[in-house]
Amino acid sequence: MTSAVEPMLPATMRVSVLRGIGDVAVEMRAVPTPEPGEVLIRVGSVGICGSDIHYFRHGRIADYVVREPMILGHEGGGHIVAVGEGVDPARIGEAVAMEPGVPCRVCRECKAGRYNLCPDVRFFATPPIDGCFAEYVTLAADFAHTVPDSMSEDAAGLIEPLSVGVWACAKVQVGAGSRVLISGAGPIGLMNVQVAKALGATEIVVSDISPDRLEVAGRFGATRVLDARTENAADLDIEVDAFIDCSGAEIAVQQGIRAVRPAGHVALVGMGADEISLPVGLVQGRELTVTGTFRYANVYPTAIALAASGSIDLDGMVTGHFGLDDVAEALSQDRIPGTMKVIVRPGGLA
C-alpha cells in the first residue's frame, strides 16, 4: 500500500517556535510527509499544559532542557489529511485525538504494557521533540485515536489531560461508592473530579487555596470543597478511600495522606519539589498504597468513550482561544483569575 493524501495540501505551514526563554515566534516550515505507519494530521486545537508554560518561562523542567528552538504543545486534536505506506487510506478525513507519546515498542516496559515508562518514548513538546503548535504534524497511526465527528476539536485535544485523570483514578481504584479526596483544583484536578464522578464516586472532596477554583470544582462534580488556607484535609470527618494529589504541594500531600482509611490508596500526580517528607509511620501503620503517576498508558479509548458519552464536559473547561500569532499571550493566561483551559488553534480562530 502506498501513501495517500488529500488533494491540494500546501507545501509549507506556519508553526510557533520557542526560541528562548519567553521568546516565541511564528516561522514557516515544510509540511511533513508521513512515514510508513504514520498519518499526517491537520491540527485543529491544542490545549496549553503547565509544562508548556514552564518551558516558556524557564526553558527546562528538571532534566528536560530546551537547548535548541522547539515547538510546544502536546494536547492536540485534528483531522487526518494524509497517510503513509501501510495505513488504510480510508482514514483520511477522520477526526482524531493525538496521543502524544510514541514509545519504542520493544523494550521491557513496552512489552509489559507500561509504555508510558519507555526510556525512548518520543513525546510531543519534550526536548528535543517538536510539539503541535503547528498547522500539520505527523504521528504513528495507532496513536491517532478516532473520535466521533460530534466531538469538537477542542475536546479531542483535551482527551490528553483527561487521560491523566483516567490513569490516576485507575491507580487508586476509584469506583462505585468511592470516597475521594483531590487536592488542587486546576485543570488536572478537575479532570480527576469529572472522572471520579463518572466512575461512580459518591463523595468527591476537593481542596485548593483559590476560592474561584473551588467554585468551579463544585460545578464539575465536587460534592464538598475545602479552602486549604483555613481548612486541613487531615481533619475531615470521613476517611477517604482514595487521595489524588494534583497540587504538588508538600503540605497538601502530608494532610491528604492522613485523611485516607486503612488499606486506602494515594496517587501523586502534581509535580512540585523533587523531594518531600511523608508520614511513613502512618503509611506503614495503615498499609497505604502510595504510587506516583507518569502520564498514562492504554487509556485513550476509555477517555474518548467517557467524553463521547457526555459523562465528561471538556468543552466547558475551555476559557480562551488564541491563534499561532498570539501564543505568548496564550501562555500567560494562567496568571488571570478564572482561567482553566486555554486553546491554541493553529489554523486560525474562524
pTM of the full structure:
0.96
Share of the chain above pLDDT 70, in %: 98
Cα 165 to Cα 29, 181, 246, distances in angstroms? 34, 13, 10
What per-residue string of b and e applies to 61-91 under the rule 16 or more CB within 10 Å gives b?
eeebebeebbbbbbbbbbbbbbbbeebeeeb
Q: Are residues 83 and 46 in the same domain?
A: yes
SS3 268: strand
Distance CA(98)–CA(79), nearest Å, equals 10
pLDDT in tens, 53-75: 999 999 999 889 999 999 999 99
In a domain, 268, yes or no: yes
DSSP category for residue 84: -
Residues 2, 73: Cα–Cα separation, whole Å: 30
User: Do 30 and 151 fall within a single domain?
Assistant: yes
Residue 301 belongs to a domain: no
Instruction: Residue 208: give its domain's CATH number.
Output: 3.40.50.720
Of the CA atoms within 13 Å of residue 239, those in its CB half-sphere come to 9
Give the pairing type, strands 38-47 and 23-30.
Answer: unpaired
* 179-183 and 240-245 strand pairing: parallel
Q: What is the CATH number of the domain that holds 85?
A: 3.90.180.10
68 and 125, same structural domain? yes
Give the model confidence (pLDDT) of 115-152 as tens digits: 999 999 999 999 999 999 999 999 999 999 999 999 99
**300 within domain boundaries:** no
Residues 225 and 263 in one domain: yes
Q: Is 148 in the same domain as 66?
A: yes
In a shared domain, residues 146 and 169: no
> Residue 222: its pLDDT value, please?
98
